Structure 1
Amino acid sequence: MDLKTMTYIVVGLSFALYLGIAFWARAGSTKDFYVAGGGVHPISNGMATAADWMSAASFISMAGLIAFMGYGGSVFLMGWTGGYVILAMLLAPYLRKYGKFTVPEFIGDRFYSRTARIVAVICLIICSVTYVIGQMKGVGVAFSRFLEVSYETGLLVGMVIVFFYAVLGGMKGITYTQIAQYCVLIFAYTIPAIFISLNLTGNPLPQLGLGSTLTGTDTYLLDRLDQVVTELGWAEYTTTPRLSMTNMFVYTLSLMIGTAGLPHVIIRFFTVPKVKDARSSAGWALVFIAILYTTAPAVAGMARLNLINTIEPASGKHITYDERPQWFKNWEKTGLLQYEDKNGDGRIQYTADAATNEMVKVDNDIMVLANPEIARLPNWVIALVAAGGLAAALSTAAGLLLAISSAISHDLLKGVFAPQISEKTELTASRIAMALAICGAGYLGYNPPDFAAGTVALAFGLAASSIFPVLMMGIFSKRVNKEGAIAGMVAGIAVTLLYVFQHKGIMFIPGTEYLGSMSPNWFLGIEPNAFGTIGAIVNFAVAYGVSLATQQPPQEVQELVEHIRVPTGVADAHGH
């Protein structure tokens, strides 16, 4: 069976599964729509959280970034996994004990202010919209290649699929759909990696294959990769930092605390029955995530080696453009891989020197999807990867869109502007808000400002600078008041956005695009995507400073903070 037919069958069956689950688990109440009725098992919730978390950035883009950044790409591995430890230990159980539907609802109650709730909604929407663009980029990339349609058509199809199962099912439908999507994406990621590891090293475990010798030689895979990239003019794969150690540290921390502050992840911990289940869910999520994240470095290294070997053979003789492999031709059609014959000899030269490099575009986001084709794996494996990439992008997009719609319908409409509306009206408003959010995300996806993981990293920085600090202070400080919380959120996200705008241009506004990725005016050498850490420090400092200069929170609010922090059993034993 040819690849196109196989891909249509595999992707079609996976979509039918998602839609069937959404119909079976459709929401009948606002509690179903927002928190899946609050009765999801911790293991199931951990799997759904993993799917919600492992977006197009994780599945499609992260290994592509590591493939070209080498050691510098480890910021994504450390940041995106380390954040779950913070989430499990410092946020999830306390927010679950509080027992509300959304993050802005907690902020509004804890800081006894509708203004604080509105500011939190604005921050949430800014973070989530930025994040969802990366998912739409992933959908477009996957569809454009494997279904042989345009990037725009791929986006449209993805929007329709998300519309049906997210609007129909709400959090209940999304949760059980994401469990299925996790199964699809993890098999789609690991099976090709096992095949490729066996081909290159004879070791079936990619995690071990990355550190093994190449089949039939005494040369280690990473040593060979270092050799070929340096011969072509790039820095060593295994020793290249991300610009500087300071930037590496700040970038990693920004991703970690951004993970703990992202609303679509936090809201998942409101879906379990008990407080201890929230921490258990985070632990299970980390286990499920680790399967992919420990495989990603192997996928990246092997994909980079295979890519170079097929374009620049070991013999040193450049292949001609007419001799280019079939995978090369397939990806050329998408516009994500481009060749330019600069010297007119008809041969392909792939080097680090921009003046002589004829591979003028090799998009980071194609590496995972192209890897099975480059390695000449069976068509069913390639089709499975397509389904996995789409599952990753669609699962996270659904979670983000739910976070946006619940912020609009529950926090703004029900919580601020029309508290008297019925549950049925609120549910209808939620679905309308979800539909509008999908349309808005699709529009922004047509003009993505960056590769998927780059845009997602920026979203993490915005969450780190705005939402994470106010949650931490809301749980662990009785002294921070409404004035401090509002001022901190505004200051944190404002300084981060200003820094990003200065160095990257204002996203989505033509003519203001990137001013250069190595701007000499970077603060302490910190790149814009890593600036969330500085924004978080500003947020904490401003919030505490303003709180100390104004009145203490009311006594009942201070008692609420104490109640949130005391374990349920202890509280019950003391009659609280």
Structure 2
Amino acid sequence: VMILGYDGLAYIMGWTGGYLLLTFLLAPQLRKYGRYTVPEFIGDRYKSNAARLIAAVATIIISFTYSIGQLSGSGVVIGRLLEVNTIIGTLIGVVLIAFYSALGGMKGITWTQVAQYLVLIIAYLIPVIFMSLQLTQNPLPWLSYGDVISEMKSIDQELGISEYVVPFTEGSKWQFIALMFTLMAGTAGLPHVIVRFYTVRTMKAARWSGAWALLFIGLLYLSAPAYAAFSRFILMTEVAGSSLNNLPAWTQAWVDTGRLSLADGNGDGILQWTELVISNDIVVMATPEIANLGIFVIGLMAAGAMAAALSTAG
């Protein structure tokens, strides 16, 4: 969202919509059927071991692909904390996950998810509330970030770049809708999410657990556009336009991870907005440093990102 602007909202809408699809159409039916995994359900439904095998292979492929994203996230956090390349950080993350997954089992992982969300949401909301106070003197980012976006419009026009809130600059409207639909279907089919509905006792409880999940997911995803806008605004106003010899200390630490590059393309000694190349993987983690929120908030964000990556990968 920070990098794509309006077009990035397809991700938030798709992921949230996926949980709606799962809660109302899939989870209660699977729970009622009484099987513990999707391959079991498909094998019984079509009375076919071949269908069961295909579903099992698909589950492994999806899980493997999803784990790559989570482990990359742990690599970003560990890489920043130890100031090493993110590849080494990822390998350290793999060892940690293998260790505690083996010890905790399914029940341990379920309670880890609960703890993860508490750490994650506190770690996510504190920086965005602090940034809202810092930039707009309003502690409610969901109401205040519109003012920041209005200011960014004029900055975008001055710099001659595509406006942050103009839709469909990265693709057509149909591509936006197709991405959103794909993400909805993909989220609803995530193996590690579907099996959570078997950890409750009844079909009614499965529906209620989905409803509570939507409430908490909404809290997270409604905060994301505000977080993105504040991060972009601070980068545009306080980092871009600075002398390359006078950049904040955090920039070097992120350059060391390989996820941030600063190149003086025109040789004028000033970092232009177009010369700042930031990986979208590090935006959430780097923003407390970008906003100079202090070591406590930076550490809290690292804990939240680590909790999310490690528990989901587990």
TM-score range, shorter chain: over 0.9
Correspondence for 2:197 = 269
244-253 or 221-230: bigger deviation: 221-230
Correspondence for 1:308 = 236
Cα distance in 1 between the residues matched to 2:187 and 2:87: 29
Q: CA deviation at 1:350?
A: 2.1
Q: Deviations over 1:188-208 (max 9, x none)?
A: 100011100000011111111
SS of the residue 2:4 aligns to? helix
The match for 1:287 among 215, 221, 236 is 215
The match for 2:291 among 363, 375, 390 is 375
Cα distance in 1 between the residues matched to 2:152 and 2:267: 29
Percent identity of paired positions between Structure 1 and Structure 2: 51
Q: Which residue identity is paired with 1:67?
A: M
SS of the residue 2:171 aligns to? coil
Correspondence for 1:341 = 264
Q: Which residue identity is paired with 1:302?
A: F
With normalisation by structure 1, the TM-score equals 0.53
Query: Does 2:254 align with 1:326?
Result: no
Correspondence for 2:151 = 224
Cα distance in 2 between the residues matched to 1:341 and 1:68: 20
Q: Which has the higher contact order (CA 8 A, sep 6+)?
A: 2
Query: Does 2:282 align with 1:388?
Result: no
The match for 1:252 among 160, 163, 180 is 180
Cα distance in 2 between the residues matched to 1:168 and 1:126: 24
Q: Deviations over 1:226-266 (max 9, x none)?
A: 22123223211112325111111111111112221121111
As a proportion of its length, which structure holds more helix? 2
Runs of 4+ in 1 over 6 A off after TM superposition: none
Q: Which residue identity is paired with 1:375?
A: A
Q: CA deviation at 1:329?
A: 2.0
Q: Which residue identity is paired with 1:247?
A: Q
The match for 1:133 among 42, 57, 68 is 68
Indicate if the aligned counterparts of 2:24 and 2:207 stay in contact, CA closer than 8 A.
yes
Cα distance in 1 between the residues matched to 2:268 and 2:20: 54
Q: Which residue identity is paired with 1:189?
A: Y
Cα distance in 1 between the residues matched to 2:196 and 2:12: 22
Cα distance in 2 between the residues matched to 1:392 and 1:229: 33
Indicate if the aligned counterparts of 2:244 and 2:269 stay in contact, CA closer than 8 A.
yes
RMSD: 1.3
With normalisation by structure 2, the TM-score equals 0.96
Query: Does 2:219 align with 1:296?
Result: no
Indicate if the aligned counterparts of 1:185 and 1:392 stay in contact, CA closer than 8 A.
yes
340-349 or 296-305: bigger deviation: 340-349
Q: Which residue identity is paired with 2:310?
A: L
Q: CA deviation at 1:159?
A: 1.3
Q: Deviations over 1:282-320 (max 9, x none)?
A: 0011111111111000000000010111223xxxxx322
Q: CA deviation at 1:95?
A: 0.5
Q: CA deviation at 1:365?
A: 1.5
Correspondence for 1:30 = none
User: Is the radius of gyration larger for structure 1 or structure 2?
Assistant: 1
Q: CA deviation at 1:156?
A: 2.2
SS of the residue 1:210 aligns to? helix
Indicate if the aligned counterparts of 1:146 and 1:383 stay in contact, CA closer than 8 A.
no
The match for 2:100 among 162, 165, 173 is 165
Correspondence for 1:522 = none
Cα distance in 1 between the residues matched to 2:141 and 2:117: 19
Q: Which residue identity is paired with 2:283?
A: M
Indicate if the aligned counterparts of 1:310 and 1:325 stay in contact, CA closer than 8 A.
no
Correspondence for 2:167 = 240
Q: CA deviation at 1:344?
A: 2.7
Q: Which residue identity is paired with 1:146?
A: L
Cα distance in 1 between the residues matched to 2:186 and 2:3: 24
Q: CA deviation at 1:133?
A: 1.0
Cα distance in 2 between the residues matched to 1:231 and 1:133: 39
Cα distance in 2 between the residues matched to 1:157 and 1:394: 11
Indicate if the aligned counterparts of 1:142 and 1:389 stay in contact, CA closer than 8 A.
yes
Q: CA deviation at 1:121?
A: 1.0
Indicate if the aligned counterparts of 2:86 and 2:258 stay in contact, CA closer than 8 A.
no
The match for 2:133 among 198, 211, 221 is 198
Q: Deviations over 1:389-432 (max 9, x none)?
A: 1111112111xxxxxxxxxxxxxxxxxxxxxxxxxxxxxxxxxx
SS of the residue 1:68 aligns to? coil
Indicate if the aligned counterparts of 1:191 and 1:381 stay in contact, CA closer than 8 A.
yes
Q: Which runs of 5+ in 2 are unaligned?
A: none
Q: Which residue identity is paired with 1:207?
A: W
Q: Deviations over 1:135-181 (max 9, x none)?
A: 11111111111232332331122112211221222210101111111
Cα distance in 1 between the residues matched to 2:205 and 2:42: 22
The match for 2:89 among 140, 154, 157 is 154
Indicate if the aligned counterparts of 2:128 and 2:141 stay in contact, CA closer than 8 A.
yes
SS of the residue 2:52 aligns to? helix
Aligned counterparts, 1:490-529, within 5 A: none
Indicate if the aligned counterparts of 1:189 and 1:388 stay in contact, CA closer than 8 A.
yes
Indicate if the aligned counterparts of 1:69 and 1:240 stay in contact, CA closer than 8 A.
no
Indicate if the aligned counterparts of 1:143 and 1:154 stay in contact, CA closer than 8 A.
yes
The match for 2:24 among 64, 78, 89 is 89
Q: Which residue identity is paired with 1:332?
A: V
Q: Which runs of 5+ in 1 are unaligned?
A: 1-65, 212-219, 313-317, 352-357, 399-576
User: What is the aligned residue count?
Assistant: 313
Cα distance in 1 between the residues matched to 2:173 and 2:268: 42
Cα distance in 1 between the residues matched to 2:157 and 2:211: 40
Cα distance in 2 between the residues matched to 1:297 and 1:345: 33
